[in-house]
Amino acid sequence: MLRFIVRRLLQALIALFVLSVLLFAWLRSLPGGVVSALLGERGTPESAAKLRAQLGLDDPIPVQYWRFLERAVQGDFGVSNGVYRGQPALDVFTQRFPATIELSFFAILIALTFAIPLGYFAARRRGGVLDTGSVVFSLVGVAVPVFFLAYVLKYLFAVRWGLLPPSGRQTVGINATHITNFYVLDALMTREWDAAWDALKHLVLPALALSSIPFAVVFRITRAAVIDVMDEDYVRTARAKGLTARTIRGRHIMRNALIPVVTIVGLQIGALLAGAVLTEKVFAFQGIGQALAIGFELRDYPVLQVLIMMAALIYIVVNLLVDIAYAVIDPRVRL
Amino acid sequence: MTTQASTTAYPSGAGGGEPLLSVRDLTVTFGRGGRAFTAVDHVSFDVQPGQTVGLVGESGCGKSVTSLAIMQLLPSRGNTVSGTVSFAGEDLLSLSDAQMRDRRGRDLAMIFQDPLSSLNPVVPLGTQVAEVLQRHKGMKNAPAQKRAAELLDKVGIPDPTRRLKEYPHQLSGGMRQRALIAMALACEPRLLIADEPTTALDVTIQAQILALLKELVQDSGTALIMITHDLGVVAGLCDEVNVLYGGRIVERAGRHDLFARPRHPYTGGLLASIPRLTEERGRRLTPVPGSVADNIPWDHGCAFAPRCASEIGVCRERTPELVPDRPELGADRLLRCHNPLESNPLDDAPTTEESGA
Amino acid sequence: MTNPGPAPDLTPGVPTPSTTGATTDPTPDARRHGALGALADRKKKRIDALAEAGTISSEEGVSLWQSAWRRLRRDPVFLIGAVIVLLFVLVAILAPWLAPHDPRARDLIGQVTPATPIPEPQPGYPLGGDNAGRDMLSRLIVGSRQTLIVGVLATLGGLAGGLVLGTLAGGISGWVDTIVMRIVDVMLSIPSLLMAFSIAALFARPSQWTVILAIAIIQIPIFARLLRGSMMAQRHSDHVLAARALGVRRPAIVFRHMLPNSLGPVIVQGTLVLAVSIIDAAALSFLGLGNPDDSIPEWGQMLGKAQTFFNTYPHIAVYPALCIIVVALGFTLMGESLREALDPKSRR
Contacts of C9 in chain B (CB under 8 A): 58-59, 199, 229
Q: Quick check: B131 and A247 CB within 8 A?
A: yes
CA B167 – CA B213 distance, rounded (Å): 23
Gap between the Cα atoms of B21 and B47, Å rounded: 5
pLDDT at position B106, please? Answer: 92
Q: Considering just the CA atoms, what is the radius of gyration of chain C in Å?
A: 25
Taking the Cβ of residue A312 and every Cβ of chain C, the question of whether any pair is shorter than 8 Å is answered with yes
Of the pLDDT bands very low, low, confident and very high (cuts 50, 70, 90), residue C24 is: very low
Q: Using the beta-carbon criterion (under 8 Å), do B65 and C18 form an inter-chain contact? A: yes
Q: What is the pLDDT of residue C31?
A: 34
Give tens-digit pLDDT for A87-118.
888 888 888 889 999 999 999 999 999 999 99
Mutate to test the interface with C, among A151, A237, A317 (most CBs of C within 10 A): A151
Contact B120 A242 (CB under 8 A): no
Concatenated DSSP letters of B70-128: HHT-S-SSSEEEEEEEEETTEEGGGS-HHHHHHHBTTTEEEE-S-TTTTS-TTS-HHHH
B191: closest CA of chain A, how far (Å): 12
Q: Does B165 touch chain A (CB under 8 A)?
A: no
Q: What is the pLDDT of residue B241?
A: 92
Judging contacts by C-beta atoms under 8 Å, the chain B residues touching residue C24 are 114, 116-117
Q: Where are the alpha helices (DSSP H) in A29-180?
A: 33-39, 45-55, 61-73, 89-124, 129-143, 146-153
The answer to whether A65 contacts chain C (CB < 8 Å) is no
**Domain ranges (residues) in chain A:** 2-72, 90-329
Average pLDDT over residues A286-314: 85
Q: Which of residues 238-277 of A touch C (CB under 8 A)?
A: 259-260, 263-264, 266-267, 269-271, 273-275, 277
Per-residue pLDDT, C63: 61
CB contact under 8 A, A151 and C307: yes
* Residue to test with chain A: of C310, C315, C323, C334, most A Cβ within 10 A: C310
Largest CA distance in chain B: 67
State the Cα angle at B18 between B13 and B19, rounded to 5°: 55
The CATH number given to A90-329 is 1.10.3720.10
For A224-269, write each residue's pLDDT tens digit: 999 989 989 999 999 999 999 999 999 999 999 988 888 888 778 8
pLDDT tens digits for A113-134?
999 999 999 998 888 889 988 9
Tell me what percent of the residues of chain A surpass a pLDDT of 70: 93
Instruction: Give the chain B residue nearest A239 (alpha carbons).
Output: B73
Higher-confidence residue of A190 and A145: namely A145
**pLDDT at residue C58, rounded to an integer:** 45
Asked whether C178 and A7 are in contact (CB, 8 A), the reply is no
Tell me how close the Cα of C19 comes to any Cα of chain B, in angstroms: 7
Three-state SS for C252? helix
> Does the beta-carbon distance from C16 to B39 stay under 8 Å?
yes
Predicted confidence at residue C55, as pLDDT, reads 54
Per-residue pLDDT of chain B (357 residues; tens, 9 = 90+): 333 334 434 444 444 568 899 999 999 998 877 778 888 989 999 999 989 999 998 887 888 899 999 999 988 778 889 999 999 888 999 999 899 999 999 999 999 988 889 999 989 999 999 999 999 998 999 999 999 999 999 888 989 999 999 999 898 888 999 999 999 989 989 999 999 888 878 888 888 888 888 888 888 889 999 999 888 888 888 899 999 998 999 999 998 888 888 889 898 888 887 776 666 666 666 777 777 777 888 888 888 888 888 888 888 888 888 888 887 777 788 999 888 888 776 665 444 444 333
Interface test with B, best of C2, C16, C18 (most B CBs within 10 A): C18
Whether residue A221 is predicted with pLDDT greater than 60 in this model: the reply is yes
Proportion of chain C in helix, strand, coil states, percent, rounded to 5: 70, 0, 30
- Which of C194, C200, C336 is facing A270, going by the closest CB pair? C194
Q: Is A108 on the interface with B (CB under 8 A)?
A: no
- The CA distance from C159 to C163, in Å, is 6
For residues B1 and B321, give the distance between their C-alpha atoms in angstroms, rounded to a whole number.
Answer: 10
Query: What is the C-alpha separation between C306 and C303, in angstroms, rounded?
Result: 5
Reported confidence tier of residue C3, pLDDT bands at 50, 70, 90: very low
pLDDT value of position A66: 84
Q: In this complex, is the C-beta atom of B282 within 8 Å of any C-beta atom belonging to chain C?
A: no
C202·A29 Cβ contact <8 A: yes
Query: Which residues in chain A are contacts of B124 at CB distance < 8 A?
Result: 331
Identify the residue with better confidence: C116 or C86. Answer: C86
Residue C346 distance to chain B (closest CA, Å): 17
pLDDT (0 to 100) of residue A32: 58
Domains defined for chain C, CATH in brackets: 73-108+133-346 (1.10.3720.10)
The residue in chain A having the minimum alpha-carbon distance to the alpha carbon of residue B169 is: A332
Q: What is the pLDDT of residue A16?
A: 79
DSSP codes of every residue in A179-229: SSS-HHHHHHHTT-HHHHHHHHHHHHHHHHHHHHHHHHHHHHHHHHHHHHH
pLDDT bin (cut points 50, 70, 90) of residue C40 is very low
Chain B positions in Cβ-Cβ contact with residue C4 (cut-off 8 Å): 198, 206-207, 210, 230, 232-233, 235-236
For B21-107+189-355, CATH number out of 2.40.40.20, 3.30.70.100, 3.30.1330.60, 3.40.50.300 equals 3.40.50.300
Q: What integer pLDDT is reported at residue C262 of this predicted model?
A: 78
Q: What is the pLDDT of residues A11-49, one digit of tens each?
A: 778 777 877 887 788 777 766 566 666 665 566 777 777
pLDDT at C73 over 50: yes
| Most distant CA atoms of chain C, gap in Å | 105
Tell me which of A162 and C60 has the higher pLDDT: A162
Q: Lowest-pLDDT range, B271-285, C66-80, C199-213?
A: B271-285
Per-residue pLDDT tens digits for C128-185: 888 888 888 999 999 999 999 999 999 999 999 998 888 888 777 678 887 787 778 7
CB-nearest partner of C8 from B117, B121, B287: B287
Averaged pLDDT for residues A161-169: 87
pLDDT higher than 70, residue A78: yes
Residue B128 distance to chain C (closest CA, Å): 19
- For chain A positions 205-234, those within 8 Å of chain B (CB to CB) are 232-234
Residue of chain C whose Cα is closest to the Cα of B292: C13
- At B37 the three-state DSSP class reads strand
Residue C339 to residues A121, C53, C54, Cα–Cα distance (Å):
23, 9, 8
pLDDT for res C44: 63
Q: What is the pLDDT of residue A40?
A: 59
Q: What span, in angstroms and rounded, lies between the C-alpha atoms of C48 and C46?
A: 5
Cβ within 8 Å of residue A281, ≥6 positions away: A147, A289, A290, A293, A294, C286, C287
Cβ contact, residue pair A233, C21, below 8 Å = yes
Contacts of residue C317, Cβ cutoff 8 Å, sequence gap at least 6: A148, A151, C303, C306, C307, C309, C310
A2 vs C: CB within 8 A: no
C169 DSSP 8-state letter:
I
Domain extents in chain B: 21-107+189-355, 118-185
What local confidence, expressed as pLDDT, does residue C1 receive?
38
Query: CB of A330 within 8 Å of any CB in chain B?
Result: yes
Is the Cβ–Cβ distance between A266 and A272 less than 8 Å? no
pLDDT at A171 over 90: no
Ramachandran region of residue B349, left (φ > 0), alpha (ψ -120 to 50) or beta? Answer: left
Q: Considering only residues 5 to 44 of chain C, which have any Cβ-Cβ distance to chain B shorter than 8 Å?
A: 5-19, 21-22, 24, 29, 32
